[in-house]
Amino acid sequence: MDYIVTLASGFMNLFTLGGEQFKSWVVGIVPTITVLLVLMNAIIALAGQERVDKLARVCTSNPLLRYAVLPWVSAFMLGNPMALSMGKFMPEYYKPSYYAAATYHCHTNSGIFPHINASEIFIYLGIANGLTTLGLDTTPLAIRYLLVGLVCNFISGWATDFTTKIVEKQQGVKLNRKLKGEA
């Protein structure tokens, strides 16, 4: 009987912990994301959709800008998960690749810029702890993490272009490679 009571108590505790986590999101990340979305939409409204589209055309004009520069700047300025929202300015074909690159930028840049993904800084700190235990500086590790991340994240985005092309053929669809209104 004690086993059943313990099992039932543990089962209910799972929901209690889930509720506490949800509550922390409601008072933590949800307002932050909401304010960032409002800010981004306000900037778009103030700058004008035409200017934003022009910037998007420049950023999508080559793979280096698409998968190295824009995701890095987005991750640095907006953090995770808002950096992913910049993909909405991409033509449909590039959205999966941008997402791949931007997602990884939110992780590999957090060693030197912990504000990007504070909730996952434990990954970097777990590795850095070994260096700290040895009395070594963790800055070179953070810089290497960032530089290797730039290269790998770019490769991830660009490789996703090729997989998107394969899926297009497989599914018999053709995604737009240009923004609406672009010739």
- At residue 100 the predicted structure's pLDDT band, cuts being 50, 70 and 90, is very high
Structure tokens at 163: 């997989």
Structure tokens at 39: 């800010």
- The span from the CA of 148 to the CA of 109, in Å, is 10
pLDDT of 94 reads: 92
Query: For residue 44, what are the CA distances in angstroms to 21, 36, 51, 53, 54?
Result: 33, 12, 8, 10, 12
- Of the two residues 56 and 99, the one the predictor is more confident about is 99
- The span from the CA of 178 to the CA of 3, in Å, is 61
- At residue 158 the predicted structure's pLDDT band, cuts being 50, 70 and 90, is very high
Which residues contact residue 91 at a Cβ distance below 8 angstroms, ignoring those fewer than 6 apart?
60, 175, 176, 177, 178, 179
181 has a pLDDT exceeding 70: no
Residue 180, amino acid: K
- Residue in this structure with the two tokens 């986590």, named with its chain if needed: 21
pLDDT of 159 reads: 95
The reported pTM is 0.71
Structure tokens at 133: 């235990």
Through-space distance between the first and last CA atoms of the chain, rounded to whole angstroms: 72
- At residue 183 the predicted structure's pLDDT band, cuts being 50, 70 and 90, is low
- The span from the CA of 178 to the CA of 94, in Å, is 9
